A and B are shown apart, each in its own frame.
Chain A
């Protein structure tokens, strides 16, 4: 009899229990599982590094180029470690990262304002929507000659190019994030009386977050590229930076130093990428859209 409350309760609970995935059991202790997972994530990366080092050394040994032009890892890696231990390197690193973060913050502000404006005003979207996409595909380095005319040999020229390179991606991520908020969620929000600011804070902004983060990640990649190009092209007098260190190394035919700095640029890129992937994954896990 479905009328009996206790019978009904047991039916509902039984159904729920059947529909929920059975709890996963593991007889291995938690610490072992964490270690196993960390190892499974780490060893392919270590293997890849090893393969690259071996291939690099093999090219050096083949004698394709003299060793003073193409040094092997046995020379570059020790050089990398002495560089990283020097105060000069950290000064250069600090300057470059400060520029990167300032430029990215500027691009973020411009990108968010632009993205919001485009989603709010139809006319603006019609007018500049495709311009934003066009800017996104444009190699930002072409702006440098013009930026140097506008701002002279200065940090402002670099910032100008970073913003032009990164802001369109950030704006694009935000716009598509807002455009693709599921209409079902919008309808549910409307039915619950979400209006004005709350419609943004409780619904649109969190719903647009995954695409916005992809936009940020792409924007960062453009900002970092523009910055490296800028530091190589716009050499500000006496200002130490990673780009400056690279061009110094080239002028003194210091191939070990060159490769050491290339590796540093690569590492910074990887670290930031890991950060964005982590952000992306944790959002996906919360939303339940990832496979794991």
Chain B
């Protein structure tokens, strides 16, 4: 009996990498209190690619920092079931005083990885993001797209299998973003990652996500979920993506209008 229940519970724990259960997050107290997230539940399966879209004030960034454990929810629970979580931002946030290799080593230094092993890992990770030979360059010598790939390598250096991405390609030009979508998809598969990808760009969400979760604003709640069909890799300019993106955008516009006057 007990053995069966245990195996079932570990079985479900393994299937879902992130379990967000009725969380809310309130900043401040009393009359000045702001509810950023209110009663949100999201479950992300292991190896799933979930895109999260919403207008301003939907608590997307707050949500990611709760999942990363950088802050605690006011109510509810976030369970990442022992997975290691790494985070990427819109700005690459590389340390300008370190080389590219040195930047990728930072999380390994935090984890106490010995020096020789760190060097090996840096070479592997740079190879993965196709930046071999750039270890001794400095962040300012690279383009924005290259810096984001270094940031991705640095996130993976944490040995994380859950990757939280906060508009990572928001500041890049369309061509670079397009190519980085292919790259991210490749690395997601190669490394069996679970990804929560926050974006303002609905097409980007449909291009990348297995599922697109639409959030309301002030406070953030889940409005609707959209399963994305279609063979990968998808083309961001395909008719199928355009029509599903239009559907989601319309729903988002209804939500935005609700906040008028």
Contact = CB atoms under 8 A, between A and B. Distances in A.
B138 A286 contact: yes
A193 B158 contact: yes
A191 B97 contact: no
Contacts of A207: 95, 97
Contacts of A2: 182, 233, 235
Given A188-B89, A198-B109, A20 B143 contact: yes
Interface string A1-14: 01101001101110
A288 B130 CA distance: 23
Size class of the contact patch on chain B: 35 or more
B106 A192 contact: yes
Interface string B241-261: 000000000000000000000
B46 interface: no
Interface in B77-105: 86-87, 89, 91, 93, 95-98
A9 B182 CA distance: 10
Nearest to B71: A190
Contacts of A187: 70, 89, 93
A19 B175 CA distance: 12
B183 A15 contact: no
B110 A191 contact: no
B179 A12 contact: yes
Contacts of B179: 8, 11-12, 15
A65 B176 CA distance: 73
B18 to A, nearest CB: 16
A12 B130 CA distance: 8
A191 B107 CA distance: 9
Given A187-B89, A192-B86, A192-B106, 13 more contacts: A8-B183, A8-B186, A9-B130, A15-B175, A20-B142, A187-B93, A188-B89, A191-B70, A194-B106, A202-B106, A203-B95, A286-B138, A289-B140
B40 interface: no
Nearest to A12: B130
A20 B142 CA distance: 7
